[in-house]
Amino acid sequence: MLRADGMTVQARLSHGVAEIVLSFSLPMEDGIRMKGAGPGVSAHFIQLVQVSHNGHQVLEAHLSTGTASDPQLVFYVAEAKAGDTVSVTWHDNKGHSGRYAMTLT
């Protein structure tokens, strides 16, 4: 398990298939919730997650305000082997982003 830019990445390799688990630490605020009598809580959510396996895109997820807080994405990559590279990039609606690359073992 590795942590990078508000995201935890886990990977398991078994019989040529990699299970990748991305866990994000983000409240995924929709901009509707009120904070007492003051102004509401501003929207803050992940908009885009892209994943590549050895330079070839294998996942593109467009998220929005309907996504639960601290979301987790689980997906599988076929024809994976030790030494392959998995890269993850994400962007949120406030201009923040994160990037991480790992080598499968």
Q: How many CB atoms lie within 10 A of CB 25?
A: 12
pLDDT digits (tens, 9 = 90+) for 76-100: 999 999 999 999 999 999 998 889 9
**Which one, of 93, 84, 87, 100, lies nearest residue 7 by Cα?**
100
Give the span between the Cα atoms of 97 and 95, in whole angstroms. 7
How many alpha carbons fall within 13 Å on the CB side of residue 37? 0
Q: What is the CA radius of gyration of the chain?
A: 16
pLDDT at residue number 31: 83
pLDDT digits (tens, 9 = 90+) for 12-66: 999 999 999 999 888 788 888 887 777 888 888 899 999 999 999 999 999 988 8
pLDDT at residue number 85: 96
Going by their DSSP bridges, the two strands 85-92 and 46-53 should be labelled as antiparallel
DSSP conformation letters of 10-36: EEEEETTEEEEEEEE----B-S--B-T
pTM: 0.86
Q: How many CB atoms lie within 10 A of CB 3?
A: 11
